Structure 1
């Protein structure tokens, strides 16, 4: 009995020892196999090599989604990388910028960095004579990669933007939509940018791009330089200059389209003047004031034309069928004499109703008075006295004295909200016309005026002026 117990105990001891050894052997085997798998796991580069797709030098700005996936990124990571690319302006400008994308780990970036064809830091140009694959997926032809730069303006040299077509602006570096807006803005100015100052006000041209373009623009610095002697630019791309405009005496009531163009106006401006004369004024200009009120004739241009204008009474059409030039001239002379005998009480004259002759009576010369009336008509009326002081060609000291004497009543000055302002008003008003297209486009989407101005990114000084004529 005793021997039987001893054999049974030994048997149990042996079985326990064997079972423990089996578990130990299995554990060691599993550990070694896992370690071998980890050690044998191919790296990112090795995977590509195994698939016959070695990493080559590449420009991350040119890669498609599938090419990013080929580099070892998941579809989700690729979507994040492309979104980040759009956020930084649609182009990676340096390795440093690409490295900041959180979908690219430090380890992955370290693997890719030697192959990235970008400058190390923003602001430094990158030059390389290494071969870069023109077709990454098929790995066929290659070309010499040189002087890589971030996408920007490609300025060919000095040029006149008045002669540029849609394709020319696209070649310059603007998108097709931006180029169309720039040309629309030029048309609203009458077919010419007039000056660098006006060109700069185009909302599609950022301040940075303007600074790059300014030294190459063949335009006067500002509109004040458009004198009688100013030369106009040729319509061909060579930007050759035409001779200065030579003015001669002319009757605006018999001048045709070509005649107005010979006086320095574009075809569109000339047509506007003729329409204004024939439609608004019933066929003829009755006075110099009628001419100065035409919105495409600036105050400066009017002053240049004024010495040469001849209003022949025989060419002035009257509403009355029994019109007689001699009778009309006689009546006008009598009226002028009567007005001269009257002394105006300027304390009772509204500055928004004061006439050209009353301004002369107060002491202004014809140039200042014409500028006063012309600017007021374009605005639809002054809203504050500072606008009078800022009027071009005005005698500021005399204007300040007049402001202190005569009242400014603004009840009849037309005002609108941005949502209901007529397009014609927006496109003709001095404070709105440069932003008219933008306003018309954005007001379809936004009704909140604060959000509207914020979205359009209008310059603060321009917004301040606009608000004077908004309800």
Structure 2
């Protein structure tokens, strides 16, 4: 009986506890949760400093706010582009780096822009800090002074050339700011220390008058440009270097004679104004020009049969023999080498520095054999070939990246999103 009594007592106790709990959670009175705070994603501010993305490890990428998945993508992309980011634009293309994130980091990235990376004297990029300790007059600064301030040798030379262009003085802070070498950021640092007027004087031309060469009156007379010698060109106001350039242009590029007034205009040391000055006095010997043309035609007939000369194997000398000048022949051979061979004749007409009409005559005669031109698929094209080929090099990194995970070429083309005309050119060299 006692056992039964205690069991009933325990049951009643449990029922009371359940009723009390139910009443508490169904009560109309609201519980006060004012002290409860939900934990969201970390909002710790980033303390950014200058960094080279080629030097960062996984932990350092995390400190910049990237997730583990994003870090893995960045490191994989770095391998794809050759193991090293070479410019800010290349880093920006990485899919793990959003526009917003890149915008926050850009000012701190120690990489050059594409333009700086292509510079012939670029070796390793480090952002040099500009340091100024006292007020100074930039007119008195030498190249070494600018280098000590933080500019490179090439930048220092450009600053001095700009000063010379202004007439030997920077004149004002306004003019100093216009020097393209000095960025807005650097100008703001330097500005408080400049000992120069704020505004450019209204009579600014007076600063340069002492540096202008006085115009010498020249006595022109009738002349034949094909027989005029070095001293003759100098007597018309050309410098030693200009006179020699004109003679070299005539004798080397034009095979010994100007054939027309247009040929004279093509010589880059003869400005448009200068040409108009000498034009009324030019008396060309048409017989000489005619004889030179006949000599070229006879020479062509005697040596090479261009109707049997493949445009993908034609030599530099043969192009000169046909009548192209050295610059045009070099451009055509160089373009062909970069392409790995021409696929159609229209490509040849897009070569720089050629006489289009003369080359059209060559194309109408000479055949084009494309059997030895290398072609690949997007999946098996060598990386070096992609990066050096004129039609593929701007999309090479994307192709290399996409084909890691995608084998269907149609899908790769969709991902590349190149312009239709570029795609058409690229497909000329694909199987």
Superposition TM-score tier, normalisation by shorter sequence: 0.3 to 0.5
TM-score normalized with structure 2 length: 0.40
Structure label with greater radius of gyration: 1
